[in-house]
Amino acid sequence: MVEIPFDIIGFDLDGTLLDTSGDLAAAVNHAITAIGRPAYPPDAIRPFVGKGARVMLERALAASGECTPALLDDRLPVLLDYYQQNLAIHSIPYPGCVAMLDALAARGLKLAICTNKAERFAIPLMEQIGLSDRFATIIGGDTVGIAKPDPAPIHEMIARAGGGRTAFLGDTINDIAGARNAGIASIAVTFGFLDGPVEDLEADAVIHHFDDLVPMLEGWPA
């Protein structure tokens, strides 16, 4: 068996491990249709995701009409309250995700999550999906008081997972820049919530399916 030269594999959550677009769209639609804005299909939400709920809602409001600070402040609690009650209605792991997690765990690697989603959403979501026990730690966007692309939450993820050489997977510039800022290897996934060409992320490597991850890690320079 070819050795994988890492101790920890870290993951972003939305758009990386899980396709959460259906539940995010439902929460956005709940917040905006009440003020007469049109509902979005899940695919239309994808470009709005990646920089937190406030930015997601701001983008959705702006795309459907005017977005003022007052309107954003009014609608955001509505979105968050609805989302907290409906975290895992439509959200599912991406194809190959569970088998990939099993394969990495069987090789003795620690698995961890660092997401910009707040802990009050991220941890219950993973519990409801049934995957939380596979991860040594789940770091949210509010765990250390600052979110990616700042390296602090990724450093905390590594520390809580026991330390060691780490690679981090994500689908947005916050993920890849966060890994770069933390001084660790970065891998971009193309099946998530990309808002531009994957090449623009300048990740160390790119995968198109989770089936590709273990072979790629096996070939990583020691």
**What is the pairing mode between strands 18-19 and 185-189?**
unpaired
Token digits of residue 102: 């099993």
79, 71 contact by CB (below 8 A): no
By the 10 Å C-beta count (0-12 exposed, 13-18 middle, 19+ buried), 3 is classed as exposed
Catalytic choice (7, 12, 102, 171): 12
Closest CA to 87 of 40, 125, 58: 125
Is the peptide bond preceding residue 215 cis, with omega within 30 degrees of 0?
no
Token digits of residue 86: 């409906």
Q: Which residue has the tokens 């273990």?
A: 214
In the residue annotation, 81 being an active-site residue is answered as: no
Q: Which residue has the tokens 């959460």?
A: 20
**Residue 17 zone, left/alpha/beta (φ > 0; ψ -120 to 50; rest):** alpha
| Catalytic residue annotation | 12
